[in-house]
Every structure is written in structure tokens, then in C-alpha cells.
Amino acid sequence: MNNKYWYKDMVFYQIWPRSFKDGNGDGMGDLYGVYEKLDYIQSLGCDGIWFSPLYPSPGVDCGYDISDYLDIAEEFGGMEAFEKVLDGAHKRGMKVIMDLVVNHTSTEHEWFKKSRQRIEPYTDYYIWRPAKPNGKLPNNWDSLFEGKAWQWDDVRKEYYMHLFAIEQADLNMDNPLVREEVKKVLKFWLDKGVDGFREDVITFISKKEGLPDDYIMPASKGFNYFNHGPHLHEYLEEFKRDVFSKYDCMTLAEAPMVTPKKALQYIDESNEPVLDMMIQFASQEADCFFSDYSHLPFSLRKLKRAYTLWQTGLEGKAWNMLYIENHDHPRIVSRYGSDAYRAESAKMLAVSYLFLKGTPFVYQGQEIGMTNWYPKDPSLYEDVQTIWQYEHVATNKSDEKRLQRLWFGSRDSARTPVQWSDEKHAGFTTAEPWFHVNENYKEVNVARQEKEEDSVLNFYRKAIQLRKQLSCVRDGIYQEYNKYSSKLFTYSMTDDKQRILVVCSFSDKNENWKVPSGFDLSQAELILNNYKDTDTTQLKPYETRVYLMK
């Protein structure tokens, strides 16, 4: 049976390899560790895995700086270990998608080394520009990670563009040879049997002709000139036509600042889509503006607007990708929930998105309600973006304020090793771990939650199982209630056979609740909840319920 929409029935698990599980005792997560945990991932009800980059890399941006697209890093076990994992996953009926990072390569990539020496055919593989006559940079664009988007290269005597770290040079996708290279990479992995790709900042691959100065954006200058650039659709169409259309695979595009209207230009199923799904950022912006570092108080109304916009915006036309966590944002319990009500809020947050229409992704550790990490010493952070932020932004603030910016803004908050048990280093490794383990591992860990029937872990299992059983989640129509409430998120999903009512309290206090009109709870079955006693007029802190109407 060949169902081209297989991903619509699935739940994916995201593995950020360095911190998932160390299987060979060197302190770094690897594919041996993943192999050991395949049954665990399957036991969650997840039937797909997205791997953050596994390729050889100097590790400046934890693997998103690739030095060889056609191999697996030795530190993760090399190709042999990957093939074993791929096979193990497929034997269990699970799909595997890779991260495709082709906006940039590492400056350690052979292409870059040759390009900086003007060795053909690599001379124009990257975006090189001479300095302006007045000695100024080629334009005023900002890097999203460190300073300006240009770095002088002493070998070539020109600047190259880097929208991310200095060691991540942007590829010149306008060069047809570069696009051929990308297609070779895609074919290589698809022929190996992978089931698709999550495409890293793919909306940045086409830059506006002439690379003009940006006089509009106050910060992140250039953003509107490299996001959704002039040839983006054309290049994606080419990848689809020449490669993806020949395989049974799925594509998921990371798309900062995308709106549903824009997304439909790429994923409208009735209009020759060039991608299958897009990763929107709106649901990650309910406590910040654009970047996690511009922290604001959490606004449930902002979050609900994002969900409603995407649920209604794609309805009947395209498919949503659903997530509340990944490796680029601090832990969701510490952001939209509460560390004080950790278990309650982790369960409520699970329900808040797992019953929406789309394909959900669960990020490693999310399923046990891992929280942020609050180090006292800023030098413990590893992430390139975090270090730059600490050294260059808000430097006039007090030490305490500067540290707090990192706690609530840094990607490292979600990159501490997965807490497997209460043993040393949380059972992640027997050696010295490459990165700090969150101090709360004795209380928050998989082994303990396996034993507790009402743990966050078992709640996730139940919620995922239920979502898969309910046709109205996959095929139904979303409707929101209590739209103006800043504490409650209430929605229903309805198809021609079924209707569910989902209630989520984002409050740390008791809240009065009025059952939305049209729902008679005496005719409903409570199929999921995070408190034993339920009161139809009041919700407890971070209470959540799912009712199946009869």
C-alpha cells in the first residue's frame, strides 16, 4: 500500500544526538545509544524519528556546520551504526528523517577550502564579495548568531557571507552546480533508505539580487532580503521535480516568520506543493518577540492566536506540523508552564497541542517534563549563539540580569542530557558527560516515571495513543472557545463521527470554568485528565481534560 500522506498518521520524536544517550562510554550521545532506545521511542507511540545532524562537523554549531554531507560522524558511531539504527527503526515500522542543512556548510568543508583558493569548479560555491571601495562590508546585513553577516577571508582576500556563525559559510544556491550537489546529497540518503528531510532554514537559500543594504529592519538587518527570496520556490520545485518526486519521502521545511498564507505557496496540496509541511515559529513566540532572548511575560492569548491562525489557515488545504519544543528553544514547562507545577503543566502542555490537527513532534526529554537548567556560572554555556549574546548584548545590565537572559533565552536550556535514571550523570553516560546534566535528574528521570502510573511519561503515552485512535483529531475541524480568556485554552475537534472537547488551564491558580454551550458533559466521557477529581465549574492549576462527546 502506498499512501503518500503517511506522515499524517504519525507522531515523530526528535533526537538531538549529542545529548540523547551515550552508548560507547565516551561522554557524548551517539547512535549506539539510539539503538538501545528504539524500543523506548516506539513505546511512546512515536513512529518516526527526526535526527538533528549526524554528519561529520567541527561542532561549532553542534552539527549544523557540516563538513561532509555524505557520511556520519565517527563520534556518533559512523555509517555502520547509522545503518543499524535505520534498519532497526524500519523493522519496527518507524520512519527516519534526516536534517538537511544546505543554506550553509562548515568552513571546514572541502568545497569551502577550494572555493577560498578559487579552485574550479568551487570558486562560486559561496557568496563572496570584495570589500567596498571605502573599506566597508559588502552590505549591512546581520548574522543571526554573531555580529555582521560578513567575514573577511585572508586567503581569497574577499568577504564571505555567514547568516549564522562565522564558521558557517552561506552557499551560493544561485549557482546551478551547488544545486546539483544538493540533489546528490538528497539522492545519497534517500537511496540509503531514509524517509525524508527536515530542511534547516530552507527559506533562506535564495538571497535578493544585488544583496542591497537593508534600511527597514531595525535589527536582524537583511532578514526580508534573504527570507523567502526571489528564487526560493523555483529551487524547491527543482529539488522536488528532480529528486523527491521519485521517492516515497516527506519534506518538512523550517520557516522562520512564515504565515499560513505564505506557507500555502509551498504546501497547498491542491496546487503542486513543493514541500509537505512547514515549521512555523508563531507558537514559539508567546513569551518573546522574534528571538527567545527578547523575553516577555507569557501571553496565552498570543499562543491561542497562533494555534487558531494555523489550524484554520491550513484547514482543507495543507497539513500542519505541531510542536512545543525543539533544540532551539528553552524547555516549554519552564516557559509556558511552571517549574513549581512541573508534572501538571507538562501534561497540560502535552494536551494543548497533541489533539490539534497535524503531525506532532516530541523533542527528547519533553516526554518526562524536563525543565530549563539554571547554572550560576555563565562560562558553563556551550552554544555559539548564547556565548555571543552574553558577551555582546545587554552587557550594561547586572550580572544577575545577564545570567537570567541566558536561563530564559539560551538553546542550551534544552540541550542538557536526557535524564534516564537517578544514577550518576542521570544514566546518560558512564564517562564525564560532554555537557552539564540538569541538577533535578534524581527527581525527573525516565526510570522513575516508568514505575509511576500517573507520570508525565505515561501520560504522554496515553495521550499519543488516544490521538491515534480518534478520527476527529486527524480528520476533524478545529474550533476555539473562550477566545478572550488569558488563562484557558479550550477547543474542540469534530468530524462526522466524533467530537472531542479539550480544556487546558495555563493558570497556577484555580479558575472558574463554564462548559461551552453546545456541550453536555453528562453525555460525555472524560478520556484524559491530569487531576483525579474533576469539577465542572472549576479548573485546578494547570488542569487539563479531554472529553469525548457521546
Residues that bind ligand NOJ (CB under 6 A): 61, 64, 101, 164, 200-201, 254, 327-328
CA dist list (Å): 49 to 35, 52, 445, 515? 12, 10, 21, 38
The residue written with cell numbers 508525565 in the block is: 456
**What is the grid cell recorded at 391?**
558577551
As a residue count, the chain comes to 550
**235 vs 420, beta carbon nearer ligand NOJ:** 235
CA distances, 513 to each of 485, 493, 527, 537 (Å):
11, 19, 18, 5
Contact 257, 250 (CB under 8 A): no
Supply the minimum distance, in Å, between the C-beta of residue 104 and ligand NOJ: 7
CA gap 301, 391 in Å, rounded: 34
R_g of the chain computed on alpha carbons? 23
Catalytic residue list contains 174: no
Catalytic residue (choose from 47, 200, 383, 412): 200
* Residue 451 cell numbers, joined: 514505575
Q: Where are the alpha helices (DSSP H) in 471-539?
A: 471-475
Angle between helices 232-242 and 260-267 (to 10 degrees): 30
Distance CA 46, CA 103 (A): 29
Shortest Å, Cβ 118 to ligand NOJ: 26
Residue 440 φ then ψ, to 5°: -80, 15
CB nearer ligand NOJ, residue 101 or residue 354: 101
Q: Which residue is nearest to ligand NOJ (CB)?
A: 64
φ, ψ of residue 13 to 5 degrees: the values are -120, 130
Closer residue to ligand NOJ in complex, CB, 101/252:
101
User: 502: part of which helix (H) or strand (E)?
Assistant: strand 499-505
Q: Which of 61, 99, 146, 254 is catalytic?
A: 254
Neighbouring CB atoms inside 10 A of 123's CB total: 17
Nearest distance in Å: CB 495, ligand NOJ: 34
Nearer to ligand NOJ, 264 or 384 (CB): 384
| Of residues 285 and 328, the one with the C-beta less far from ligand NOJ | 328
- Quick check: bond before 516 cis, omega within 30? no
- The residue written with cell numbers 539522492 in the block is 187
| Cα 56 to Cα 79: distance, rounded to the nearest angstrom | 11
Q: How far is the CB of 96 from ligand NOJ (least distance, A)?
A: 18
Distance in angstroms (rounded) separating the CA atoms of residues 325 and 13? 11
Least distance between ligand NOJ and beta carbon 130 (Å): 26
The angle at the Cα of 205, spanning 201 to 209, to the nearest 5 degrees, equals 140
Nearer to ligand NOJ, 201 or 457 (CB): 201
- Cβ of residue 411: shortest distance to ligand NOJ, in angstroms? 7
Question: How far apart are the C-alpha atoms of 439 and 426, rounded to whole Å?
Answer: 9
Q: Is 162 or 221 the residue whose CB approaches ligand NOJ more closely?
A: 162
Is 254 noted as a catalytic residue in this protein?
yes
CB of 61 to ligand NOJ, least distance (A): 5
- Name which of 164 and 381 has its Cβ closer to ligand NOJ: 164
CA-CA distance, 320 to 140, in Å (whole number)?
Answer: 35
Q: How far is the CB of 412 from ligand NOJ (least distance, A)?
A: 11
Helix (H, G, I), strand (E, B) or coil at 75: helix
Closest CB to ligand NOJ among residues 99, 344: 99
Least gap, CB of 233 to ligand NOJ (angstroms)? 20
What does 340-369 look like in DSSP terms, one character per residue? TTHHHHHHHHHHHHHTSSSEEEEETTGGGT
Grid coordinates given for 58: 567541527
**3-class DSSP string for 162-187:** CCCCCCEEEECCCCHHHHHHHHHHHH
Which residues are marked as active site? Answer: 200, 254
